[in-house]
Amino acid sequence: NAGVTQTPKFRVLKTGQSMTLLCAQDMNHEYMYWYRQDPGMGLRLIHYSVGEGTTAKGEVPDGYNVSRLKKQNFLLGLESAAPSQTSVYFCATAIGGAPADTQYFGPGTRLTVL
Amino acid sequence: DAKTTQPNSMESNEEEPVHLPCNHSTISGTDYIHWYRQLPSQGPEYVIHGLTSNVNNRMASLAIAEDRKSSTLILHRATLRDAAVYYCILRPMIYNQGGKLIFGQGTELSVKP
């Protein structure tokens, strides 16, 4: 089992370009999350999904859009990249949203916006 | 959301026990205490969680104070691979927030050979 995979691993964009980050999971989990991590800081939640076809905003959603058309995939889009979006992006999944449920994280995508 | 306080950094010697503290004085009665760690250049990974009683698993032990205002993650024999940032996170019994994790700064643990 691959668990949680993220594509691509690295990307450099110019300001104003767009891109989509893909998160894929083979654990049949309902919940999926996108976090970002800036240098020296903890992770912050961007958007999340509690099931196929649903999405919700997290702590820092501005400048991002998401889609969950299939249960196993969660896409994070940047329509017009800005230098402030330079960060490492982590996807996570969970079987549910209960307080005792564990989140499983992908290896991350390192994005630089010039 | 209840807040956690952890030391910024700690050092340990290899093969010795490590006690990582976390203060959470505003914890509510239904908040779960979770610990995750993040190895260099990797995503966070789950370590352990508990509610009221002490917990053990293959990675670590979690000791929870009787008043639940603090907890300690115990690594019984630190190895070089345990060098990571350790996050103490409270998860409330609120189901309409998607089960999000709120990460603080964490404790950066370094392990000396």
Q: pLDDT tens digit string along A12-69?
A: 999 999 999 999 999 999 999 999 999 888 899 999 999 999 999 999 999 999 999 9
pLDDT at A54: 94
Tell me the mean pLDDT in the region B38-66.
95
Query: Which residue would you say has higher pLDDT here, B94 or A14?
Result: A14
CB contact under 8 A, A101 and B99: yes
Q: What is the pLDDT of residue A102?
A: 92
User: Per-residue pLDDT for B92 more than 90?
Assistant: no
Q: What is the mean pLDDT of residues A3-15?
A: 97
Residue B1: is its pLDDT beyond 80?
no
Q: What is the pLDDT of residue A1?
A: 66
- Chain A residue numbers with beta carbons less than 8 Å from the beta carbon of B49 are 100, 102
Residue B74 to residues B22, B25, B28, B62, B63, Cα–Cα distance (Å): 11, 20, 23, 6, 8
Please check the confidence at residue B97 and state whether its pLDDT lies above 70: no
Res B96: pLDDT: 58
What rounded mean pLDDT belongs to chain B?
A: 92
Say what the pLDDT of residue B104 is. Answer: 87
Q: Determine contact, residues B17/B107, Cβ cutoff 8 Å.
A: no
Can you list the positions of beta strands (E) in chain B? 9-13, 18-23, 32-38, 45-50, 55-56, 61-64, 70-75, 84-91, 107-112
Q: Which of A43, A97, A105 is the closest to B95 by Cβ?
A: A97
What integer is the mean pLDDT of B35-39?
96
**Is B78 a residue whose pLDDT tops 90?**
yes
User: Which member of B46, B98, B106 has the closest CB to residue A102?
Assistant: B46
